Structure 1
Amino acid sequence: MLFNKKTLFSFAALLSNLTNIQAQEAAAPADSAVIKLTKDTFADFIQENPLFLAEFFAPWCGHCKHLAPEYVKAAAELEDKNIPLVQIDCTEEQELCMEYEIPGYPSLKVFKNNDPKNTKDYQGARSAESIVSYMIKESLPAVQQVGTDSELQDIVQNATQPVIVDSGVKGLNATFYDVAAKLSSDYTFISYVTSNKTVAKDLSLYLPSEDTPIVFNGDLNKLAKNATQLQEWLKVEALPYFGEIDGSVFQTYVESDIPLAYFFYTSDEEKSKYTEFFTELGKKYRGSLNFVGLDSRKYGRHAENLNMKEQFPLFAIHDMKKNLKYGLPQLAEEKFDQLKDTISIETKDISRLVENFVKGKANAIVKSEPEPEVQESNVFKLVGTTHDKIVSDKKKDVLVKYYAPWCGHCKRLAPIYEELADVYASDKKASSKVLIAEVDATANDISDLNIEGYPTIILYPAGKNAEPVTFTSQRTLDGFLKFLKENGSNRVDGESLYEKYAAAKKEAEEDEEDEEDLDHDEL
């Protein structure tokens, strides 16, 4: 994925459907059905229980406190079904939590088949109802056997998640079961075994609320030998043509690896008015765009992440792989305030933007600071609109620091980075071959770049700009000089430059001291 993970996480957090339940202690009460585990009891518990859900938490965690009453309620409902819910306090069991690489709190993991390595992250809604439904589904066979058409129709008509049906495709059985074992919590897998010779031997997908199945129209022989292909097909085809998005399903849309088109609506009536239109668009552009509805009353701030003003209704597209955003023109704030109660979106305008996007003709909305009229230091300041042009310089090795203004590591690096720029700027020949630059990644859109933390420092070698090299050494002046010499196309000897730069700097400082002494003598 070539999108900013930090931005992605902020999207997911914004879209999360947080409930206003009263917080209690994060640890479940002693008299609840939740079982407390430690490093000493964890291994034995796994061997004794083929299925359970584990919450890795911290007592001070606010999200853990909000989850607690729902978790306790779910544990009580699942107790008589022999599906335990357990808790591990990571402030006391640090070694165990490190073993499972717990990234944050609370982290919910499903353990199955008495295998400590066979875990699956629970990413559903944090409500008792969702947890109970999910765990009961996990307890069922990965593939259900069906022998009659009436049985199949009963399952399809009452399904709340996509149903995938193997009607006896030759050679598919092993692959089908393999995929079902991995994805049974997200889909219902049916093996339709019947003696009725009129039933077609195919692979069909039934979406909730859709009467007509989606039939796999590729090469079934290749599919039977390729579990990955089946999974990729499901990631695309199992999504609704026009679905509602929130935190519980956001990751599913991300994993489809397809751009996401948002319709921000202001009321349920408004959403209903556009549903048929967007459903048809979803069918027409299947595999090119996913269409979703977003309630602006809850998630209106997400418009800012798409470089759009909070003017609703609103339509925008986000190409997450390239981190590019597209939207319909918006009004000046004063004009919007005058007309906001009468604004609507013309379907023809949405269709035109979608068509242009798919054809590659739409213009992205790039968030960018103004281009500096004057560069104030030897560290060249990039902005969103100049970044790609500068890093594509065929004659210069361009080193770019991607930073955030609030980042402490970035602030500590700043004087070292400035001196690095001064070293190369001190020599005319070197300055024509090496550029030291930086960009505020929070204020400027940078496409096709994965920024996982700040500062991220990347070298774009001259003539090989499409093959950037990430700096991972110690952030010292010597470390940067060696890195640029070894990885830059121009192989500029920065260490020799620094010797000359340091000598000239020392000489200048001594001259300045002499001048001060002279002034003092004259006084």
Structure 2
Amino acid sequence: MIGAKTAFFATLLAVAYGAGAVLEYTDGNFDDLIKTHELALVKFYAPWCGHCKRMAPEFEKAAPKLLANDPPVALIKVDCTVEKTVCETHGVKGYPTLKIFRNGVVAQDYDGPREADGIIKFMRGQSGPSSKELNSVADFDKIIAGDENVVIGFFESESKLKDSFLKVADTERDRFSFAHTSNKDVLKKAGYTDDIVVYVPKKLHNKFDSNEFKYDGNYDTDKIKNFLVQETVGLAGIRTQGNLYQFESKPIVIVYYNVDYVKDPKGSNYWRNRVLKVAQNYKRKVQFAVSNKEEFSQEIETNGLGERKDSDKPIVVVLTNEGKFPMDQEFSIDNLQQFVDEVLSGNAEPYMKSEAVPEEQGDLKVAVGKNFKELILDSDKDVLIEFYAPWCGHCKSLAPKYEELATKLKDEDVIIAKMDATANDVPPLFEVRGFPTLFWLPKNSKSSPVPYNGGREVKDFVSFISRHSTDGLRGYARDGKKKKKTEL
């Protein structure tokens, strides 16, 4: 009853404040109203904040679904440029700051996704027990009639599988919805007794996939987790920003179009069925997925499909360990089949974002997408490579020192190089999450780059390179000190 009253009260408030399903609280009412919610996610924001503006529509999309959750989850926003007291009370120092409240008390900082689907999954995972117990056929029918996959454990009696299922539910509640039952009527209707089954929502049913995915392993929790992540999305899963962890294997074929099972389920299924028809020919060899164009607009650009993103038909990229392969042909079943075959057979050229190859190189070598393999990976020298961004302040501070280092070591058996990571594709071998990022590549093991985390003065670089150079430096000892002329 508490959940129903809270949901009703939250809905009335939403209408009263004219802000859709996202509630807006103030200094005057925050302390009183936050107590009325069993679970709430509060966004402390500033109207001028760019990150806040990007998150706002995602918050609005997630709010009505979370209000309809059982128990309901309230999404609340507080404008810290106006409501300064409550923001100071909760230690808000940056925007947006997100906090999870339980019955009016801060439970934890929110560190989950910031797009609608991810927010919904994360917050549903925070509400109620990690696995909901189904005590009747009505409970079972209601939960499988939802709009998301649900993982249900069927247990006739106590078992090791049940124990493992509940442990997995505790650790994976942010990713999946769990339920379990020992009710005889439910077991009879479902036809399972000591099993774990993932039910696919009706809107995603198709003639190519099963509507249920049954776990066939033992009670090993890691195997259960692997099953949930790897084997429950079907032949062409709906890939969103919130479930990317289920689409990490390669090769993978990603088909982008206006996927929207709320506003246009018929159109969404029309194109997905055509992808499924091709995907069935590559079971366990290639993963297929469909993604919303708007949600992945930046990825579309990165994958070389920017010029085709306004196409009325789906656009396609195949990602392999060798690179990314955007499909130039207009989408059709035959063209998709042919293109995937071309990529798998090695007859397609990978796309590479690249600046023009420099006509001349100085002491500091400039790597771009098109010359990276030749200049860096295929060279017979050790390499220190910097990945930078032109707008990065730390990169600008490093630039003159890095130039000096390159000049100082120009006659040594080492390449000092840099690459603009915003204008060129960074090879998959390197994990670049911030700028500048530097790697050391010994000439005999270029496939195992070593992150450079040392000092950023010239003497620090020289000291590091002296110690780690494969054959030693002619002008410097292993301790980084310059050799005397008699030693040269």
TM-score, length-scaled by structure 2: 0.71
Aligned-residue offset at 1:162: 0.7
Whether the 8 Å CA contact 2:99–2:106 is kept in 1: the answer is no
Partner of 1:396: 381
Whether the 8 Å CA contact 2:41–2:100 is kept in 1: the answer is yes
Partner of 1:29: 26
- One-letter identity of the residue aligned with 2:177: T
Aligned-residue offset at 1:308: 2.4
Structure 1 residues 362-397: Cα deviation after superposition (integer angstroms, max 9, x where no partner): 54212222333332x111222213213433347411
SS in 2 for 1:444: coil
- One-letter identity of the residue aligned with 1:174: D
* Distance change (3 Å), C-alpha of 1:178 and 1:106: farther
Pick from 209, 223, 231: which aligns with 1:229? Answer: 223
SS in 2 for 1:172: helix
Partner of 1:517: none
- One-letter identity of the residue aligned with 1:166: G
Aligned CA RMSD, in angstroms, stands at 4.7
What is the number of residues matched between the two proteins? Answer: 434
Partner of 2:242: 251
| Structure having greater relative contact order (Cα 8 Å, sep ≥ 6) | 1
User: Hey, what's the Cα distance between the residues in 1 that align with 2:471 and 2:155?
Assistant: 61
SS in 2 for 1:191: strand
2:113 maps to 1:123: yes
Whether the 8 Å CA contact 2:113–2:119 is kept in 1: the answer is no
Equivalence map 1:301-316=2 (5 Å)? 302-311=299-308, 312=311, 313-316=313-316
Partner of 1:5: none
SS in 2 for 1:345: coil
- One-letter identity of the residue aligned with 2:355: E
Structure 1 residues 459-490: Cα deviation after superposition (integer angstroms, max 9, x where no partner): 10121222222222221110110011122222
Task: Extract unaligned runs of 5+ from structure 2.
Answer: 1-17
Whether the 8 Å CA contact 1:207–1:213 is kept in 2: the answer is yes
Aligned-residue offset at 1:31: 4.8
- One-letter identity of the residue aligned with 2:445: K
User: Hey, what's the Cα distance between the residues in 2 that align with 1:177 and 1:295?
Assistant: 36
* Distance change (3 Å), C-alpha of 1:413 and 1:135: closer
Partner of 1:513: none
Partner of 1:262: 254
Whether the 8 Å CA contact 1:300–1:310 is kept in 2: the answer is no
Question: Which deviates the most, 114-123 or 455-464?
Answer: 114-123
Structure 1 residues 170-221: Cα deviation after superposition (integer angstroms, max 9, x where no partner): 412222112223433543322231456863532211111236311123x32x
- One-letter identity of the residue aligned with 1:145: E
Structure 1 residues 75-120: Cα deviation after superposition (integer angstroms, max 9, x where no partner): x979x9796767786998789769xxx9x73243435699978665
Whether the 8 Å CA contact 1:53–1:111 is kept in 2: the answer is yes
- One-letter identity of the residue aligned with 2:422: T
Partner of 1:329: 328
- One-letter identity of the residue aligned with 1:225: D
Partner of 1:487: 468
Partner of 2:133: 145
Partner of 1:290: 288
Task: Extract unaligned runs of 5+ from structure 1.
Answer: 1-20, 38-44, 331-343, 503-523
Structure 1 residues 45-72: Cα deviation after superposition (integer angstroms, max 9, x where no partner): 9xx997443434456425547749959x
Whether the 8 Å CA contact 1:400–1:457 is kept in 2: the answer is yes
SS in 2 for 1:250: coil
Question: Which deviates the most, 107-116 or 197-206?
Answer: 107-116
User: Hey, what's the Cα distance between the residues in 2 that align with 1:460 and 1:95?
Assistant: 49
Pick from 382, 407, 410: which aligns with 2:395? Answer: 410
Partner of 2:197: 204
Partner of 1:319: 319
Whether the 8 Å CA contact 1:323–1:447 is kept in 2: the answer is no
Aligned-residue offset at 1:272: 5.0
* Distance change (3 Å), C-alpha of 1:70 and 1:501: farther
Partner of 2:15: none
- One-letter identity of the residue aligned with 2:215: F
User: Hey, what's the Cα distance between the residues in 2 that align with 1:266 and 1:194?
Assistant: 41
Whether the 8 Å CA contact 2:385–2:419 is kept in 1: the answer is yes
Partner of 1:336: none
Partner of 2:151: 164
Question: Which deviates the most, 393-402 or 28-37?
Answer: 28-37
Structure 1 residues 227-283: Cα deviation after superposition (integer angstroms, max 9, x where no partner): x332232123343644555xxx31312454235533344796875543212134455
Pick from 337, 358, 379: which aligns with 1:372? Answer: 358
User: Hey, what's the Cα distance between the residues in 2 that align with 1:441 and 1:146?
Assistant: 51
- One-letter identity of the residue aligned with 2:96: P
- One-letter identity of the residue aligned with 1:207: V
Partner of 2:3: none
Q: Which has the larger radius of gyration?
A: 1
Whether the 8 Å CA contact 1:394–1:465 is kept in 2: the answer is no
Please state which structure has a larger fraction of its residues in helix.
1
- One-letter identity of the residue aligned with 2:432: I
Pick from 435, 439, 455: which aligns with 2:436? Answer: 455
* Distance change (3 Å), C-alpha of 1:401 and 1:409: same
User: Hey, what's the Cα distance between the residues in 1 that align with 2:121 and 2:46?
Assistant: 25
- One-letter identity of the residue aligned with 1:258: S
Whether the 8 Å CA contact 1:164–1:188 is kept in 2: the answer is yes
* Distance change (3 Å), C-alpha of 1:361 and 1:411: same
* Distance change (3 Å), C-alpha of 1:188 and 1:404: closer
Aligned-residue offset at 1:304: 2.0
Aligned-residue offset at 1:30: 3.6
Partner of 1:213: 212
Whether the 8 Å CA contact 1:241–1:282 is kept in 2: the answer is yes
2:422 maps to 1:442: yes
SS in 2 for 1:465: coil
Whether the 8 Å CA contact 2:215–2:224 is kept in 1: the answer is no
Equivalence map 1:166-181=2 (5 Å)? 166-168=153-155, 170-181=159-170
Structure 1 residues 477-514: Cα deviation after superposition (integer angstroms, max 9, x where no partner): 10110011122222326546985899xxxxxxxxxxxx
* Distance change (3 Å), C-alpha of 1:126 and 1:304: closer
Aligned-residue offset at 1:324: 3.0
Question: Which deviates the most, 263-272 or 235-244?
Answer: 263-272
* Distance change (3 Å), C-alpha of 1:323 and 1:57: farther
Percent identical across equivalent pairs?
24
- One-letter identity of the residue aligned with 2:229: K
TM-score, length-scaled by structure 1: 0.67
User: Hey, what's the Cα distance between the residues in 1 that align with 2:450 and 2:243?
Assistant: 31
